[in-house]
Structure 1
Amino acid sequence: MERQRVVDLGEFGDAFRRDPHPVYARLREQGPVHRVRAPGADADQTTWLVVGYEEARAALADPRLAKDSTKIGTTFLDEELIGKYLLTADPPQHTRLRGLVARAFTMRRVERLRPRIQRVTDDLLDEMLPRGGADLIDSLAYPLPITVICELLGVPDMDRAEFRRTSTEVVAPTSAQTEYDSVVRLAGYLTELIEDKRCAGPTDDLLSDLIRTTAEDGDRLSPEELRGLAYLLLIAGHETTVNLIGNGVRALLTHPAQLAALRADPGLLDGAVEEMLRYEGPVETATFRFAAEPLEIGGTAIAPGESVLIGLTAAQRDDSRYPDPHRFDIRRDTRGHLAFGHGIHFCLGAPLARLEGRIAIGTLLERAPGLALDGEPGEWLPGLLMRGVRSLPVRW
């Protein structure tokens, strides 16, 4: 079989970071799967990228695509320093870890957070609104989810600005060295935090519950597994929601007819948030998968050991699934969108992200009736993992 040519995404420059959708659209026209080189990758570092909706949905649930990189003889930086966690594990290990976490991270626990999320949102807006203008990321989109996830996990107040820098370097690194340093800092912090909680005794927070959680057969999470889960929940539990709020508000403010429709009928909010997730979701590509055996995706042969990236951003603009996909339409039927993934790795924190997004955006629109953009957004995050801007200036 003829080897596919490599599409070097770095050749598209900053335009691809700002708006990858035209590139993904051209790739979809040529086929659902392509061999690509990510921006900044070495010449010999290529991967398969899935850009078609049906192929992406099927690949997300395909057990032949492993998440455990040790199956192909390699490990990633965070696995080496943090340990195994849900996104780097396959069944039966993944089944065990997810089952233990699900015992503590319940829908009831998330729903109990509703009053607190509303209070934090109101407090942040009380501080922001008298100024008449602000960076929405700094003033609302970042502090809300980091406050909520830290309180949920039982993480004491930390230097939030420092944590933001560290966390963002993990998911959207500007260099290999800063990524390494950031993961080392987080690993050390979480190791100390878990040990402190073990010594302090029971408290009513998720991390303490995870320390105490025991399955019927007596199974418990090891210290390394606890650190991995805390790392995943802390990073994924706020980075994605920051970008859900930022990207969602930006989409509304650049589509005034949709903003007016939502203001006229707040009952459209839930659907609007789902369209925000489809139109410009916070995760551009799912984390790496690896072919554990030969397989085909969309007619393309994937050899054992080859890596695969599933393009969530690309798949959600596939016109075979969503008519006129580049149109932002808060009344659209978004069922089946892939913003939170699909299959056994479907995002554990999806209910919390949705709740925070609905409260933050709904309250912002209610309390800032003249909300508008106040200049160009900051630079888009680097890399292929996260989709979001570093700043979003607004006024009201």
Structure 2
Amino acid sequence: MSDGSPFLETSPSARQAKFAELVESGPVHHTTLFTGVPVWLVTGHAETRQLLTHPNVVKSLTEVPHREHTSDDLIRATNTHMLASNPPDHTRLRKLVSAAFTRRRIDELEPRIKQLSASLLDEMATQGGPVDLLAGYGYPLPITVICELIGVPSIRRDEFRELSQIAMTGPMRTVEVYLAAVTKLIELIRTMIEVKRATPADDLLSALIAVRDDGDKLTDDELTSMIYLLLIAGHETTVNLIVNGVYTLLKHPEQLAALRADPSLVASAVEELLRYDSPVMVSIPAVTNGPVEIGDVTIPPGSVVLAALASANRDPHRFAAPDTMDITRPDNSHVTFGHGIHHCLGAPLARLEARIAFTDLLDRFPSLRLADPAEEPARYPGLLLNGMARLDVLID
């Protein structure tokens, strides 16, 4: 593998081909990322699940983007959340956050998501010529949902979107651009917390401020970090799921026809789209605090490790015909949402949004098609996200 080459590829087919090469050559690889950081990259499905649950694999702040230039205050404000924590801190945080971010709260969003979806599709229908699905639907639906869920004022949503994109692609940004964006984002979150403390509302931020467990509560840094995580992870991955998913369906007309013929397949289709074209490429970096045996490889202590979710989801040792898109695929145990204690808390919300998005879009526009079927929309280069900048479609 040459310097993290799958992550710098902007062609989705070339990116996936290089991930496939990794899987074919073995489940564990020692390489150097484009950032210059040496890592152990785990690409096999079984090995990825093993890595994500290994007791000697722990979260560490040493792998924060531009760590040497970032103040301790900013590190604490952005990384004192569940995804960056280890037990027992992780156990405590997940319990507190789960008490506020309940399944009931997510399920109650369904009517509002449908309302937002219908409104966005109405607006798209008024546009002539090619429509950018990302700008018109794939982005505004998830960002509005997560901002309304948290309690972000509507006038701030575009600003949050711009800042979160920079934060999520930190290794690709200059120190100055990255730090300015993250600093501004934390300032906005702290201001929101002050407002909600003074005037609580029926939103997730107010619930997180109020949540208690035997007198325990979230600290200020835990609150800012959790909102920071929810704002970024709560919409970026769902944007990619929707847009990549529509592109994949349009490139597989027989699968699209099957879904149109039987809309009840949408839940299964979402799982296959999560597997086939994962909205994220790798897990958050972790480190080993002792020897870690993965397959027949021993990863030494003090190593940075990454689970290559995109390749694990195409592992032929786990999935029959892994490069075939099949919306009826049984036993679809993809690892897109992770595995183990850090399994994505927001997975039910992402699935709900995707089911509504695909159902409504295909129902509203029976003639939906790619504006240029021969064009392969470029993906953003980078380590974590697998998303595109735009997707032009025709809807008439």
* SS of residue matched to 1:34: strand
Q: Deviations over 1:318-353 (max 9, x none)?
A: 011111101111111243210111100000000000
Q: Deviations over 1:191-248 (max 9, x none)?
A: 1111121122x31111101101000x20011111100100111110000100010110
Answer yes or no: is the 8 Å Cα contact 1:24–1:314 preserved in 2: yes
Which residue, 114, 125, 128 being the options, matches 2:124?
A: 128
* SS of residue matched to 2:40: strand
* SS of residue matched to 1:337: coil
Answer yes or no: is the 8 Å Cα contact 1:272–1:330 preserved in 2: yes
Indicate the residue corresponding to 1:256 in structure 2. Answer: 253
> 1:163 and 1:71 mapped to 2: Cα distance?
23
Bigger drift between 76-85 and 241-250 goes to 76-85
Shift of 1:18: 5.6
Decide whether aligned partners of structure 1 residues 261 and 17 sit closer, same or farther in structure 2, where only a CA change above 3 A counts: closer
Indicate the residue corresponding to 1:92 in structure 2. Answer: 88
The residue type equivalent to 1:206 in the other structure is L
Which residue, 257, 262, 274 being the options, matches 1:277?
A: 274
Decide whether aligned partners of structure 1 residues 105 and 184 sit closer, same or farther in structure 2, where only a CA change above 3 A counts: same
> Is 1:353 the equivalent of 2:341?
no
Answer yes or no: is the 8 Å Cα contact 1:9–1:36 preserved in 2: yes
Decide whether aligned partners of structure 1 residues 270 and 240 sit closer, same or farther in structure 2, where only a CA change above 3 A counts: same
> 1:264 and 1:368 mapped to 2: Cα distance?
14
Decide whether aligned partners of structure 1 residues 281 and 130 sit closer, same or farther in structure 2, where only a CA change above 3 A counts: same
Give me the TM-score of the superposition, normalised by structure 2: 0.92
Alignment of 1:181-220 (within 5 A): 181-200=180-199, 202-215=200-213, 217-220=214-217
> Is 1:26 the equivalent of 2:26?
no
Q: CA RMSD in A?
A: 2.1
Shift of 1:265: 0.9
> 1:55 and 1:315 mapped to 2: Cα distance?
8
> Is 1:54 the equivalent of 2:46?
yes
Give me the TM-score of the superposition, normalised by structure 1: 0.92
Indicate the residue corresponding to 2:104 in structure 1. Answer: 108
Shift of 1:68: 2.9
Q: Deviations over 1:104-137 (max 9, x none)?
A: 1111110000000000000000101121431111
Answer yes or no: is the 8 Å Cα contact 1:279–1:328 preserved in 2: yes
Answer yes or no: is the 8 Å Cα contact 1:17–1:382 preserved in 2: no
* SS of residue matched to 1:357: helix
Answer yes or no: is the 8 Å Cα contact 1:18–1:380 preserved in 2: no
Answer yes or no: is the 8 Å Cα contact 1:142–1:242 preserved in 2: yes
* SS of residue matched to 2:23: helix
Shift of 1:378: 4.3
> 1:11 and 1:248 mapped to 2: Cα distance?
20
> 2:147 and 2:354 mapped to 1: Cα distance?
17
Shift of 1:302: 1.1
Decide whether aligned partners of structure 1 residues 17 and 371 sit closer, same or farther in structure 2, where only a CA change above 3 A counts: closer
> 1:179 and 1:333 mapped to 2: Cα distance?
42
The percent of aligned pairs where both chains have the same amino acid is 46
Which residue, 334, 339, 343 being the options, matches 1:342?
A: 339
Bigger drift between 136-145 and 179-188 goes to 179-188
Decide whether aligned partners of structure 1 residues 116 and 171 sit closer, same or farther in structure 2, where only a CA change above 3 A counts: same
> 1:15 and 1:230 mapped to 2: Cα distance?
30
* SS of residue matched to 1:391: coil
